[in-house]
Amino acid sequence: MMNGIDLTFSEEKKKLPLGASKFLGNPDAWDGFEWPQFTENKKSYDLTFMGQINCAEAALFYTGGLLPKTGMLYFFYDLDEMPQESFDKNVARVIHFDGDLSSLRKILRCDHEGNDMGFREMKIHFHSESVDRERLRARLGETWPQGWQPLFQIFSFETDRVAIKFKNESALCFFVDKPKLERGDFSDVHIRQI
């Protein structure tokens, strides 16, 4: 089993550049981007933007895995209800954009009065060596021999501005079927708090 890339987060004084890897905030997306939603009782609600990974940046630290080497991976989840696992693909989404990253623009999720509803963005730092548990915030691209692959794990954490706590102070994990991941197909992603 390969352990993937350990990630830490930091709050920056300046806005991150377009196309940077980040946790929370708002996505840098393309023209025609549609915000992922989940449907409950015939009503649709926006999923929470959990983060984006610049694949070329990640590839500098993790060359042996199945992750895309180009483009951007976006992660969305129902952070309001925080389901412990997905029984359908409604509560979480992963999108891979493999176009020109210079064409991206910031997409804001606003309320009916035009106020930004996004959390404060955090810069993602990639580490080529393991990070101690107190600093570890997420892990990317862990590889298992077969079956469903852990794509992105976000560990429970708390700062002065945000607290995200999963079941038993554990982690939220996005999983994708290995054959689909090998084809770059992220249409059937599931989550579980582990």
Tell me, letter by letter, the H, E, C secondary structure of 51-116.
EEEEHHHHHCCCCCCCCCCCCEEEEEECCCCCCCECCCCCCEEEEEECCCHHHCEECCCECCCCCE
Asked if 142 contacts 164 with a C-beta cutoff of 8 angstroms, the reply is: no
Q: What is the pLDDT of residues 110-160, one digit of tens each?
A: 777 877 777 899 999 999 888 998 899 999 988 787 788 999 999 998 887
Q: What is the pLDDT of residues 58-109, one digit of tens each?
A: 999 987 678 999 999 999 999 988 999 886 668 999 999 999 999 999 988 7
Whether the full predicted model's pTM is greater than 0.75, yes or no, is yes
For 92, list phi and psi in degrees, rounded to 5.
-155, 150
| CATH number 2.40.100.10 given to 5-193 | no
For residue 19, give the nearest of 6, 28, 7 by alpha carbon.
28
Q: Where are the domains of the chain?
A: 5-193
